[in-house]
Amino acid sequence: MASATATEAAVDRAAVFEFLLSMGDNALILGHRLSEWCGHAPALEEDIALANTALDLIGQTQLWLGLAGEIEGKGRSADDLAHHRDALEFRNLLLTERPNGDYGKTVMRQFLFDAWHYLCLTALRDSSETRIAAIAEKASKEASYHLERSRDLVIRLGDGTAESHTRMQAALDDLWPYTGEMFMNEASDAELAAAGVAPQPASLKNGWDALVAEALAEATLKKPVDGYMHKGGKRGVHTEHLGYVLAELQFLQRAYPGATW
Amino acid sequence: MSSEWPLWEVFIRGQHGLNHRHVGSLHAPDAEMAINNARDVYTRRNEGVSIWVVRSSDIVASAPSEKGPLFEPSNSKVYRHPTFFDIPDEVGHM
């Protein structure tokens, strides 16, 4: 039903669908993780700010998964895709499903993701698929603020007290092995890049390294060396944590299929 | 021990041309975070185009006990209100 653009005709629909799932699932799972803080954050202001970020991400999820369903052409809505897929069918980065930990760890996870998200969305604004470019245009403004905020908090907590510094370094060291996945090219990525639909993941690495290195230096945190990197999220091979996230996220629609407000 | 963040008063300008209005207060460790927090707490429903924050402790207020001497004398000065002019309908609400 969608206007089949030249791009779409040239690129495998399945590859575009998978890509859209990965964008939507990253936002959905991280948005859900952040929502777990609602009512528990260390200060009222932080609580509201995190909830805002979570809502931005859930809003983006609706756009990405909505378009994914449209491209797939099987009549699945964003809600269907969010609530009626099992863990194996989720395409989010493993980083986004990491447990919240303490507040510093949540902030660090957010920063590492935001830096990537911002660069990725900025590149996607030039996508040859105009509907992707339109979503990226809107989402990149939100991501820009998310990054400003999480970067600021990483610097404040890293360069804060001895306690906050120790916690931030521990969070960084713990999460670092989950950052490599953001830049790993899958087979379909070359095809998408060639058609101008999306950037090759690896092409974002230099920009991300520079952005992160600059903030970590200001935060007096030691940037870990790139060692073993976990992967699998983009292929549906997830850690055990995703199952628990989905159990909560999907409970209502699984127990009462089709329930509405 | 003062581990509490200081209090800030938040002023938001809703549209171009209108004054900043006091909308509430919040806690933040410094001015930069106060602006960020104000954005997150007070402009969630598209309320603003500009934010001011001021440390609450920097605001000097009149004493409630001086309400009488300060304000009552102006009660009886009706001639200070421009109510004796006929305003043409075309002018609209002033």
Domain with B29 in it: what CATH number? 3.10.20.520
For residues A159-180, average pLDDT: 98
Are B37 and A45 inside 8 Å of each other by CB? yes
For A49, nearest residue in chain B (alpha carbons): B40
Residue B1 has pLDDT above 60, yes or no: no
Lowest-confidence segment of A9-13, A118-122, B20-24, B83-87 by average pLDDT: A9-13
| Stretch among A103-107, B17-21, B33-37, B76-80 having the lowest mean pLDDT | B76-80
pLDDT at A104 over 90: yes
CB < 8 Å to A34, chain B: none
Q: What percent of chain B has pLDDT over 70?
A: 97
B30: nearest CA in chain A?
A156
What is the band of A162 on the pLDDT scale with cuts at 50, 70, 90?
very high
Q: Please report the pLDDT score of residue A10 as a whole number.
A: 63
Chain A hits for B29, Cβ within 8 Å? 156
pLDDT of residue B72: 87
CATH T-level assignment (fold) for domain A11-255: Ferritin (1.20.1260)
Q: In B, which residues are within 8 Å of A218 by CB distance?
A: none
Give me the pLDDT at residue B94, please: 67
Residue whose pair of structure tokens reads 């996945």 in the numeric block:
A181
Which residues of chain B does A45 touch, with a Cβ-Cβ cutoff of 8 Å? 26-28, 37, 40-41
User: Who wins on pLDDT, B94 or A92?
Assistant: A92
Domain count, chain B: 1
**Cβ pair A57, A27 in contact under 8 A:** yes
- The rounded distance, in Å, linking the Cα atoms of A169 and A185 is 28
A48, A152, A156: residue with CB nearest B40 = A48
- pLDDT category of residue A9 using cuts at 50, 70 and 90: low
CB A111 within 8 A of CB A154: yes
Q: What domain range includes position B20?
A: 7-61
> Cα(A216)–Cα(A256) distance, rounded to whole angstroms?
46
Q: Comparing A247 with A9, which gets the higher pLDDT?
A: A247
Q: Which two tokens stand for residue A4?
A: 């089949």
Beta strands B20-27; B7-13: pairing state: antiparallel
pLDDT-derived band at A136, boundaries 50, 70, 90: very high
pLDDT band at A2 (very low <50, low <70, confident <90, very high): very low
Is the pLDDT at A1 greater than 50? The verdict is no
pLDDT digits (tens, 9 = 90+) for B16-60: 778 999 999 999 999 999 999 999 999 988 888 899 999 999 999
Report helix, strand or coil for A174. Answer: helix
Task: Tell me the residues of A at the B interface, defined by beta carbons under 8 Å apart.
Answer: 43-45, 48-49, 52, 145, 148-149, 152, 156
Mean pLDDT of A15-22: 96
For chain A, percent of residues with pLDDT exceeding 90: 93
CB contact under 8 A, A44 and B29: no
Q: Is residue B48 part of a domain?
A: yes
Contact list, B32 vs chain A (CB under 8 Å): 152
User: Chain A: residue nearest B26 by CA?
Assistant: A45
Are the beta carbons of A191 and A12 closer than 8 angstroms? yes
Per-residue pLDDT, A151: 98
User: Predicted confidence band at A178 (pLDDT cuts at 50, 70, 90)?
Assistant: very high
Report the alpha-carbon distance of residue A231 to residue A249 in Å, rounded.
Answer: 23
Provide, rounded to the nearest whole percent, the portion of chain A with pLDDT above 70.
96
Q: For residue range A41-64, list pLDDT tens digits in order.
A: 999 999 999 999 999 999 999 999
What are A200-224's pLDDT values in tens digits?
999 999 999 999 999 999 999 999 9
The minimum CA-CA distance between A214 and chain B, rounded to whole Å, is: 19
| pLDDT > 90? residue A89 | yes
- Closest Cβ–Cβ partner in B26, B32, B44 for A45: B26
Q: How confident is the model over A233-253, as pLDDT tens digits?
A: 999 999 999 999 999 999 999
Amino acid, single-letter form, for residue A184: M
Q: Give yes or no for B27 touching A (CB within 8 A).
A: yes
Q: Mean pLDDT across the stretch A171-188?
A: 96
Size of interface A-B (CB pairs under 8 A): 29
More confident residue, A210 or B93: A210
pLDDT for the residue A245? 97
Q: Is B13 helix (H, G, I), strand (E, B) or coil?
A: strand
**pLDDT at residue A56 in the model:** 97
Look at A43 and B27 and tell me if their CB atoms are within 8 Å: yes
Do the domain assignments include residue B34?
A: yes
Reported confidence tier of residue A33, pLDDT bands at 50, 70, 90: very high
Binary contact (B26, A49; C-beta < 8 A): no
Q: ipTM of the assembly?
A: 0.74
Res. B2 pLDDT band, cuts 50 70 90: low
CB contact under 8 A, A156 and B36: no
Residues 6+ apart with CB under 8 A from A97: A29, A33, A233, A238, A239, A241, A242, A245
Is B40 an 8 Å CB contact of chain A?
Answer: yes
Domain ranges of chain A: 11-255
Closest Cβ–Cβ partner in B27, B29, B36 for A149? B36
Of the candidates A142, A140, A19, A151, the residue with the CA atom closest to the CA atom of residue A72: A19
